[in-house]
């Protein structure tokens, strides 16, 4: 290469570098100017900001950085001629930018030309509706400018023009939510899961957060029922209906839907079994029993048959145990039913589960502890019972030793299970039992050391139980040097566990006399009410609960007491009018209570809104 060309190349390189450097310096200067204009704008120095923006607007490279602020400034100052001139310049430089095109309609609107603005917006929507990407930009523009009706129209128009009746469903659901048009929002969510069934849980969680009133769930139910009738083969609607009924704790309606769904899909009763389990957890024993009996009768060849048979008896057991006073003859009949089940399914897991239930009835309801111990030892010694069932039986055996007032034997069994199932839920349950045993003995420091570990337990139930007992101990130990009131209360708790209810009652009454201002007072009244209920002394139970409402209405047992009084009036005193009034009072006085859903359901039943 000649010397001439080398010099030429160097010269060109220097020029390029100089040009780039100038560009960088100019860009930096422009950035500084943009920031300065924004600073003036934030401080209310409008004219200074406007002058800088106007100068910057002469270079089209600055438009993306200044447009929104400058254009809004011109509109707010009602400098419409300048805004129009500037906008034409911008549109000429960026002819494909959708936002700049839509700004023309906003300019018309700010000048009071609503008809011209609407015409322009509709024209843009029609122009871009076939383009999925650009119509989204149009909709987002309208959302940003709070023109929600036009945002919805743009996507609806695109849906029609593109011939895709379910497209943009999630976007439209969000827009209708902002517009508070919940019927349309719900419909869009249903369209969304129609195309995306795997996202049903997401939609359910979203609706659960949005729909806060019973009437809104009723609207959803009506819409789903209409859709089910129009499209009976679509599985989305019955599944959503079942979910709606479960939110409302209307387990029977959920069962009716699941039964129809299972017949069509040949589901063998699995969905119904899930509903029965939830109904049982919520103490809707009649519905749970009907479902279990239905599954056992309808699907005798399925894997659900033996479980449904056992759960039918267990459901009756739970109903008997929670209906006061508990009749011994009913317990005897349950034991006989379990015996028949054990013979029918001899050697199976169902038989072993029934054997365990039978043993617990002997121990806790008939005071036949030796019979219970023999049955549980036979189960533990069996080679065919699973390790988890064996461990649970050891825990039960420990409980029975505690019934017999042999705490050392109890803690040995609890500790065995805790060691053998250290990281499992059963191991955590064993640790909780040991913590309770220490609590019963009055060793609160040791009990709390166990409970602190269990607060992080894997199951919510164990964790909640640990937190509840820990809070109970902390709140009621006024001075660690004076644990006598708490020790007496814990001893009474042990007597209740051992079914020595009248001894516990006397001890709790004595506590009330000795410590009338202690923090335990409301808990003592609640315990006394529970014992009164088991002895069918319902008027006395109500009296204790009313004392909680009179003295501690805003404390931890306030809503518990009110709900229990309502339940006593409904189930035992048969005063449905008073029960309805109390359920309504709970909804009003304790809107955040865990009993709200059940109270609302019972109030509606008593008022005749829904069938019992």
* Residue whose entry in the numeric block shows the structure tokens 């029977």: 252
CA distance 254 to 251: 5
* Residue whose entry in the numeric block shows the structure tokens 């819409």: 223
Question: Please, which pLDDT band fits residue 4 given cuts at 50, 70 and 90?
Answer: low
Name the nearest CA neighbour of 387 among 411, 412, 359, 352.
Answer: 352
pLDDT surpassing 90 at residue 487: yes
Q: Average pLDDT for residues 7-28, to the nearest whole number?
A: 49
Structure tokens at 570: 């409904």
CA distance 156 to 166: 10
Q: Average pLDDT for residues 451-455, to the nearest whole number?
A: 91
SS (H, E, C) 424-444: CHHHHHHHHHHHHHHHHHCCH
Structure tokens at 85: 């001139």
CA distance 506 to 508: 5
Q: Is 302 exposed, middle or buried (0-12, 13-18, 19+ CB in 10 A)?
A: middle
What is the model's pLDDT at position 266? 84
Q: Are 43 and 11 in contact (CB under 8 A)?
A: no
What is the model's pLDDT at position 574? 95
Fill in the DSSP letter of residue 94. Answer: -
Q: Is 99 exposed, middle or buried (0-12, 13-18, 19+ CB in 10 A)?
A: middle
What is the model's pLDDT at position 9? 59
CA distance 146 to 137: 14
Q: List the helix and strand counts (H, then E) for the chain.
A: 32, 0
What is the model's pLDDT at position 8? 53
| Residue range 516-562, pLDDT digits in tens | 999 999 999 999 999 999 999 999 999 999 999 999 999 999 999 99
Q: Which helix (H) or strand (E) holds 393?
A: helix 387-403
pLDDT surpassing 70 at residue 6: no
Question: Please, which pLDDT band fits residue 295 given cuts at 50, 70 and 90?
Answer: very high
CATH architecture, range 508-612: Alpha Horseshoe (1.25)
387-403 and 369-381 helices, crossing angle to 10°: 160
CA distance 558 to 562: 6
| Residue range 363-397, pLDDT digits in tens | 999 999 999 999 999 999 988 888 999 999 999 99
Q: How many CB atoms lie within 10 A of CB 390?
A: 20
pLDDT surpassing 90 at residue 267: no
pLDDT surpassing 90 at residue 273: yes
| Residue range 205-223, pLDDT digits in tens | 999 999 888 788 888 999 8
Q: Are 373 and 397 in contact (CB under 8 A)?
A: yes
482 bridge partner residues? 479
CA atoms within 13 A on the CB side of 153: 12
CA distance 95 to 483: 82
Q: Are 435 and 493 in contact (CB under 8 A)?
A: no
pLDDT surpassing 50 at residue 27: no
What is the model's pLDDT at position 174? 95
CA distance 276 to 288: 4
What is the model's pLDDT at position 19? 46
CATH 1.25.40.10 domain position(s) in the chain: 508-612
pTM of the model: 0.81
Task: List all residues 6 or more positions away from 455 whose beta carbon is below 8 Å from its beta carbon.
Answer: 463, 466, 467, 470
CA distance 70 to 83: 9
Q: Are 380 and 400 in contact (CB under 8 A)?
A: no
What rounded mean pLDDT belongs to the chain? 91
> What is the three-class DSSP state of 368?
coil
Question: What DSSP line would sit under 51-75, residue for residue?
Answer: HHHHHHTTSGGGHHHHHHHHHHHHH
CA distance 560 to 583: 12
CA atoms within 13 A on the CB side of 402: 27
Q: Average pLDDT for residues 81-96, to the nearest whole number?
A: 93
Q: What is the share, in percent, of the chain residues with pLDDT greater than 90? A: 75
CA distance 191 to 196: 9
| CA 263 distance to own-chain centroid | 30
Task: List all residues 6 or more positions away from 515 whose beta carbon is below 8 Å from its beta carbon.
Answer: 485, 521
Outline where 283-367 has alpha helix (H): 285-298, 304-321, 328-344, 349-365
- CA distances from residue 602 to 248, 273, 605, 612 in whole angstroms, order as listed: 11, 24, 5, 9
CA distance 316 to 589: 34
Name the nearest CA neighbour of 385 among 374, 396, 393.
Answer: 393
- Give CATH for domain 386-476: 1.25.40
What is the model's pLDDT at position 480? 53
Q: Are 387 and 350 in contact (CB under 8 A)?
A: no
Q: Are 314 and 334 in contact (CB under 8 A)?
A: no
């Amino acid at each position: 290469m000649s010397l001439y060309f080398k010099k030429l190349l160097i010269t060109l390189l220097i020029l390029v570098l100089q040009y780039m450097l100038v560009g960088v310096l100019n860009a930096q200067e422009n950035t500084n100017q943009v920031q300065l204009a924004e600073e003036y704008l934030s401080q209310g120095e409008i004219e200074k900001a406007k002058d800088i923006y106007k100068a910057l607007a002469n270079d089209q490279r600055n438009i993306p950085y200044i447009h929104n602020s400058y254009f809004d400034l011109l509109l707010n100052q009602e400098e419409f001629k300048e805004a129009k001139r500037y906008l034409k310049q911008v549109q000429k430089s960026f002819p494909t930018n959708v936002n700049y095109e839509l700004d023309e309609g906003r300019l018309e609107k700010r000048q009071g030309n609503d008809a011209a603005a609407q015409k322009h917006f509709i024209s843009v929507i029609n122009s871009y509706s076939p383009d999925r990407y650009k119509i989204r930009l149009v909709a987002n523009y309208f959302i940003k400018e709070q023109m929600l009706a036009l945002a919805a129209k743009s996507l609806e128009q695109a849906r029609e023009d593109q011939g895709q009746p379910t497209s943009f469903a999630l976007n439209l659901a969000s827009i209708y939510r902002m517009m508070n048009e919940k019927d349309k929002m719900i419909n869009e969510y249903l369209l969304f899961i129609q195309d995306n069934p795997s996202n049903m849980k997401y939609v359910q969680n979203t609706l659960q957060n949005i729909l806060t009133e019973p009437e809104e769930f009723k609207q959803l139910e009506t819409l789903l029922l209409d859709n089910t009738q129009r499209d009976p083969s679509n599985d989305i609607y019955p599944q959503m209906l079942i979910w709606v009924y479960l939110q409302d704790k209307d387990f029977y309606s959920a069962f009716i839907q699941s039964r129809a769904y299972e017949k069509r899909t040949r589901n063998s009763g699995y969905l119904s079994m899930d509903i029965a389990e939830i109904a049982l957890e919520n103490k809707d024993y009649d519905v749970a029993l009907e479902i279990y009996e239905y599954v056992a009768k309808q699907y005798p060849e399925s894997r659900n048959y033996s479980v449904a048979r056992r759960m039918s008896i267990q459901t009756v057991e739970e109903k008997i145990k929670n209906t006061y006073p508990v009749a011994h003859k009913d317990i005897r009949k349950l034991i006989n039913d379990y015996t028949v089940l054990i013979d029918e399914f001899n050697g199976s897991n169902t038989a072993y589960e029934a054997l365990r239930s039978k043993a617990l009835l002997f121990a806790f309801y008939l005071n036949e502890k030796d019979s219970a111990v023999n049955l549980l030892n036979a189960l533990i010694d069996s080679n065919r019972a699973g390790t988890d069932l064996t461990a649970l039986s050891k825990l039960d055996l420990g409980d029975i030793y505690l019934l017999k007032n042999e705490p050392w034997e109890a803690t040995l069994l609890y500790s065995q299970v805790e060691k053998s199932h250290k990281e499992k839920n059963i191991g955590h349950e064993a640790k909780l039992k040991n913590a309770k045993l220490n609590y019963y003995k009055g060793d609160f420091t040791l009990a709390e050391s166990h409970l602190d570990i269990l607060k992080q337990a894997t199951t919510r139930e164990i964790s909640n139980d640990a937190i509840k007992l820990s809070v109970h101990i902390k709140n009621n130990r006024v001075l660690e040097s004076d644990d006598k009131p708490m020790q007496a209360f814990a001893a009474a708790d042990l007597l209740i566990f051992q079914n020595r209810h009248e001894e516990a009652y006397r001890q709790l009454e004595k506590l009330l006399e000795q410590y009338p201002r202690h923090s335990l007072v409301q808990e003592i009244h609640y315990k006394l009410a529970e014992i009164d209920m088991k002895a069918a002394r319902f008027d006395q139970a109500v009296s204790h609960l009313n004392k909680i409402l009179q003295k501690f209405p805003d404390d931890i047992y306030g809503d518990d007491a009110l709900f229990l009084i309502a339940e006593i009036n409904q189930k035992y005193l048969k005063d449905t009018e008073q029960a309805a009034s109390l359920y309504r009072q709970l909804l009003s006085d304790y809107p955040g209570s865990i009993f709200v859903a059940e109270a609302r359901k019972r109030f509606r039943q008593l008022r005749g809104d829904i069938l019992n």
